[in-house]
Amino acid sequence: MSRTIAIGDIHGCSIAFAALIDAINPQPDDTIIPLGDYVDRGIDSKGVLDQLIELRDRCNLVPILGNHDQMMLHAREGRSDFQFWLNCGGDAALDSYGSSGKLDLIPRNHIRFLESCRSYFETDTHIFLHANYKPDVPIEQQEDHTIRWLSLREYVPPKPHCSGKIAVVGHTPQTEILDLGFLIGLDTGVWIGGWLTALDVESGKIWQVSENGTLR
């Protein structure tokens, strides 16, 4: 039976991501939905993107673009965008390519992968997006700031989305999975000593791995 599995923010933690994928063991009919923020802060953004690109050959991979991934793309547009990215953890991402100052070390296939990421993904029962939503705004009309940047510390939706679907998000680190019934938060802070979390949204099965690859 095929599975639909969401994965919280990875943030350059390639060892954790490799261990999580090994535990999930994705099959060709599975849909795997990483919720964004693949890069920055952890020590191996390059390794995470390499793994994600390889994962496309194993399953139906539906990657969501996070705000840190968006910053990495925008860093090529000018000095101020580049400096903004570095200040938000991009220096660690560039270090994984061999230099804190050379954007041209980032392989073209990594840029193409990030450019191919979606803003959101819907199934019959769930909406997957990086950060947040406004309840009364159709998902395709949500502002970029809302779906990619708006923290749950700033704004918690007071009710389900108008589609009636359960929202599955990352972005806002929690010590444990946040489950409001109509919203599930899967960023459990792997890069700050927490866990990298995956959730099978149909069965409710959870996988969690620490930064060093230990399965919880």
| Residue of 133, 173, 125 lying closest to 156 (CA atoms) | 133
- The answer to whether residue 99 scores a pLDDT higher than 90 is no
Average pLDDT over residues 135-148: 98
Classify strands 166-169 and 126-129 as parallel, antiparallel or unpaired.
parallel
Compute the C-alpha angle 108/33/197, nearest 5°.
110
pLDDT of residue 102: 83
Residue-wise pLDDT tens digits, 18-63:
999 999 999 999 999 999 999 999 999 999 999 999 999 999 999 9
- The answer to whether residue 211 scores a pLDDT higher than 90 is yes
- Estimate the share of the chain in helix, then strand, then coil, as percent rounded to the nearest 5: 35, 20, 45
Q: Rounded to an integer, what distance in angstroms lies between the CA atom of residue 188 and that of residue 151?
A: 14
Provide the whole-model pTM: 0.97
Find out whether 127 and 133 touch, Cβ atoms under 8 Å.
yes
- The answer to whether residue 100 scores a pLDDT higher than 70 is no
What does each C-alpha distance from 116 to 63, 65, 69, 161, 173 come to in angstroms? 8, 9, 11, 25, 25
For residue 79, give the H/E element and its range.
helix 79-85
Q: Rounded to an integer, what distance in angstroms lies between the CA atom of residue 146 and that of residue 25?
A: 32
Query: What are the residues facing 169 on neighbouring strands?
Result: 185
Structure tokens at 25: 């063991």
Q: Rounded to an integer, what distance in angstroms lies between the CA atom of residue 208 and that of residue 199?
A: 9
End-to-end Cα separation, the chain, in angstroms: 25
Average pLDDT over residues 56-75: 98
- Fill in the DSSP letter of residue 66: P
